[in-house]
Amino acid sequence: MTPRVANIAVVTALCLITVTVLAANQSQSITRAQLWDGPIIYHPSWSMEERKIRTLTGFAKPDETLDLIFYATSNNDDRTKINLDYRLIEEASQTLVANRVETQIGPPYYGWWHLQLPDHAPAKYLFGVTATDENGTLVAALISEIKVPRQEIMADLRVEGGEVTTQDSIRLLVTNTGETTIGFGYEYHIEKHVNGTWWRIPNGLIAWLAVLYTMGPGGSGSSGMINVKGLDSGSYRISKEFQAEGVNGRKMLFAEFTVSRPPEENLASLPRWGFDFSYALAEQSMESPDYPRLWLSNDGARSLLISSSYRLEKLVSGVWESFYVSDSDGERSVVRWGEVYSQTFNESKLSVGEYRLFKDIGVEGTSAIKQLVLEFSYTKP
């Protein structure tokens, strides 16, 4: 189509994408049938400092305050006065929600409209801009849409297979069944069903990795593997929090699964399931700035029986030699699921060198002993 008047191209504020120009004799009313679905840029006003830009034919929340932005230029340098008519229309009823008119002399021409959407969902709005010259002739027009989705976070969370027998880990699967992009983090919790009530299992963690994963409409995939070695037989569920683009608030979703472990045949041996722990040793910590400190977290359903007794060896000329043996009648601690045991090794004879720690760990319901062997360096004089 060849325009009959000066050609004004409307482009995005960031991407500079040329928009179709309409002929002068076309109607100035903003309707989908006449105008091109163009890429106007907008972003929520509260995220101005973050430059969190989203492109139209995107989603917004009900009652959200937006800044709708565009930039227009011409194919010649002649200074021209144009009138800009901004309109926000509710598509289904063709109701004019908001309107603004201004005059600019350019090129270039800059448009920036600060407005608040109605507190209503679901809804679809047409945002249109018409540019007319001093004679009232339409020289350019652009339209795009803002969708306010139904205020529901729609996603499916499930455990692959649904039943745990001999495996030590399970895969958590996510499917986006809604119309907007969903987001979720790494954090999750495991709960056990006991006597009609769901009980959250402590995990010993004080922080989670701050990562946000996103998934578009219709997408599906795994949110990662989850360790279930420490779970004994019973009914469980995994809880995970989700959010969605254009939807206020967050939603907790659940994926139920069962654990059916075969019976343990030899209680004199370490159990394969219901027994799991993790540990760390630091030469210096806030609790113990001068001596090494051990932390041990019970990650299994069975309680751990830990004595304060331990043994140290020191590496001398390439050979491990006995360095210290503590009292064999040391205090015994019962460390339940999710609890953390800690101990400081503050022997006055501890000197610079390489050491090896030996510590016995008992397991509830068995006579078995797990010996923890941990090498560490001590560098303080």
- Whole-prediction pTM: 0.61
| CATH 2.60.40.10 describes domain 8-148 | yes
**Paired tokens of 60:** 């917004």
pLDDT of residue 336: 86
pLDDT digits (tens, 9 = 90+) for 24-62: 233 334 444 444 344 454 444 433 333 333 344 578 889
Over range 303-323, report the average pLDDT.
91
pLDDT of residue 380: 77
- Judge contact between 306 and 341, C-beta under 8 A: yes
Rounded Cα gap, residues 262 and 14, in angstroms: 61
Rounded Cα gap, residues 37 and 126, in angstroms: 9
Mean pLDDT across the chain? 77
Q: The domain 277-378: what is its CATH number? A: 2.60.40.10
Matching CATH topology for 8-148 and 277-378?
yes
pLDDT of residue 205: 59
Over range 171-197, report the average pLDDT.
90
CATH class, range 155-259: mainly beta
For the chain, the domains span 8-148, 155-259, 277-378
- Judge contact between 147 and 92, C-beta under 8 A: no
pLDDT digits (tens, 9 = 90+) for 212-249: 888 988 999 888 888 888 788 889 999 999 999 888 88
**Paired tokens of 197:** 């009530």
Rounded Cα gap, residues 130 and 82, in angstroms: 10
- Higher-confidence position of 184 and 30: 184
Q: In this prediction, what percent of the chain has a pLDDT beyond 70? A: 78
Does pLDDT of 353 surpass 80? yes
- Judge contact between 30 and 126, C-beta under 8 A: yes
